[in-house]
Amino acid sequence: MKRTLALVVMLASGMVLSAAAQTQAAPATAAPVPVPAKIAVVRFQLVVAQTNEGQRGFADLEKKYAPKQAALKALNDEVDGLTKQLQSPAATLTEADRNAKAKVLDEKKKQLDRDTEDARNAFQQDMGDMYNSLASKVYDVMQSYAEQQGITLVLDVSQEQTPVLYASNGSDITKAVIDAYNLKSGVPAPPPSAAAPGAQTAPKPAAPRPPAAH
C-alpha cells in the first residue's frame, strides 16, 4: 500500500514538474511595438465636392432644378410687381380693385412660400443623397491613401469651428485625396464652363458629416 501511494505521489510530482517546465519554456508574448504618430488634416467636404464625380453630380442637380428655379423667379417677379402696384401713390385703383389685387397678392405670396419650401426640401434631399453616396467612396480612398503613407491619424478640418489650431501645409492631404479618388474613379474632369460647387442659387442643404470610420 505504501509503495502504491509513493508511486502515485511520484507520478503526480512528475506531472507538476513537467507542466511547470512547459510553462517556463513557453515563449513570452511580445510587447507591442509603438508606431510613430503621423498626423494629417483633410477638408473632407471640400474633397467630396471637388472630385470630378462630385462636380459632375452637382452640375446634374443644377440642370434638374433649373426649371423650378426659373418658375420661382417668375412667381417672385409677379409678387414684386403686384406689391409695387399696391404701394404706388400714383396708382388710381378703386377700393374693389385694390382689394382684389391684395387678395391675389396674398395668394401668390403663399404659393411662392410653399413652392420655395418644397423646392428647398427636394434639393436638400437630392444633394444629401448624392453627398452621402459619394462621401462613403471617398472615405475608402482616403483611408487607403493614409495607410499607404503611414498616416496614423487624420483630422477633418472642414468646419470653421475645429479643435485644430495649427497644421503645416505639408500635413494637408486634401489635394492628394482628390487626385487619388479621381484616378481610381476614372471620371473625367468637367469642362471649364461647369459651375463649381457653391455657386448655385438654389437653396443649399447643410453639408453632411463624413461617414463613420469602418
Looking at residue 87, its pLDDT comes to 85
Q: What is the rounded distance in angstroms from the CA atom of residue 58 to the CA atom of residue 61?
A: 5
H or E element: which one contains 155? strand 153-156
Looking at residue 56, its pLDDT comes to 96
What 3-state class would DSSP assign to 29?
coil
Amino acid residing at 105: L
Domain boundaries of the chain, sorted by first residue: 35-185
pTM of the predicted structure, to 2 decimals? 0.68
Looking at residue 91, its pLDDT comes to 66
pLDDT along the chain (214 residues), means of 10: 38 40 52 79 97 96 96 96 84 82 94 96 96 97 97 94 90 97 95 55 43 49
Looking at residue 2, its pLDDT comes to 42
Looking at residue 193, its pLDDT comes to 65
* β-bridge mates for residue 42, sequence order: 156
Specify whether the CB–CB gap between 170 and 149 falls below 8 A: no
The answer regarding whether domain 35-185 maps to CATH 3.30.910.20 reads yes
